[in-house]
Structure 1
């Protein structure tokens, strides 16, 4: 399998599944402005996913388009990080998910902006403008929750305790990624993870939160093995195309 194709699916699947998760809040946000803000973040993620899927479909050159890649693969063929498919739960966990993912994407797209692959670099530069806003928005809410009421702080701490062990899975590699790193097409994710720890440690101090001390991290992210939540998501995502093959609007 083409390493670049695998890598593009990694980037696309992350944004696609994260966007789908966040879209569940559309019309359900705590108040109108925040509802619109989170919906816009979801739309940004879906737009990024589309750009990567379009490029991946050209790289594969097998007659499958971006919609086929998004909606008609089997569960084990998706290589998104486990973090993206975790449930929203309450708003504190949702904001934590957006915050961590935005830190990851910001570091990733900054590095990819200098990729030897010009098209990948162009997509990353365009996406970076969006995720900088995502980071500012989510970090602001992290601080509000952490320094707000006893309940808001408690909910945020509970969310960190519940899902932080999935964060390192964002930096897991896909097959052939080391070849792309050697060619300066993709950045070294181990270096990115070190930067991620530095950024989040600094931010947690600013939020007034204790940084997670447990070193355990969940394995098998990006291997085709998914959490128990993913299958239910895929059923919703694929229903129309499976029930009415080739349907158009």
Structure 2
């Protein structure tokens, strides 16, 4: 299959020196390669391998229309999701994250710290089943600007700040006890968690419902149908996130695969 390089706009939002993503002739893209500033712990060989496989797995971001209920694996990021289901390299936890302004990033960060350094589980895998208003954080800034998504995010959000790199992320990762370092509360961001191996699952149901809300609020400048608007939003889910048929439905599959449930 012929591949060509393309620059994905969401990488600019991240500010990562990750290089261009790959886009195939069928519109399947690959996730952005991990930044050189990976925060994966020593001894996490299995997690590192999973991260590599997820980087290589295609992401579908070329939809013209999507139905309300997805029925075929080619309608979501099936290959990447299957890699998550199959992971057996360490303890696994799935977070039920619903509120963009809630403590979800902080809780996942704290859990990673305890699992890695307190309980000595460097291969620990944290997954975010992201839906509700938290899913707004998985749309790139272009969608926030075009559709005024800040009005749905609540007080304190004028843009998608959860995609912004924090200054603490430049601290020496060898000093994991640094109170304002890369593993501290000063580096609660989506890019920081992704560099630690956290997997972010995107919810198709949340995308569809967001499209419906935009149409109801007359925030649909192109006058798209709901299936076309949901497709545009899906196409602007951040590159490394994994689009699923639905976060809550996927929670069941993850628990059957051995993931422990947590709620933020």
Greater share of residues in strand: 2
Same fold judged by TM-score > 0.5? no
Give TM-score scaled by structure 2 length. 0.29
- Structure showing the higher helix proportion among its residues: 1
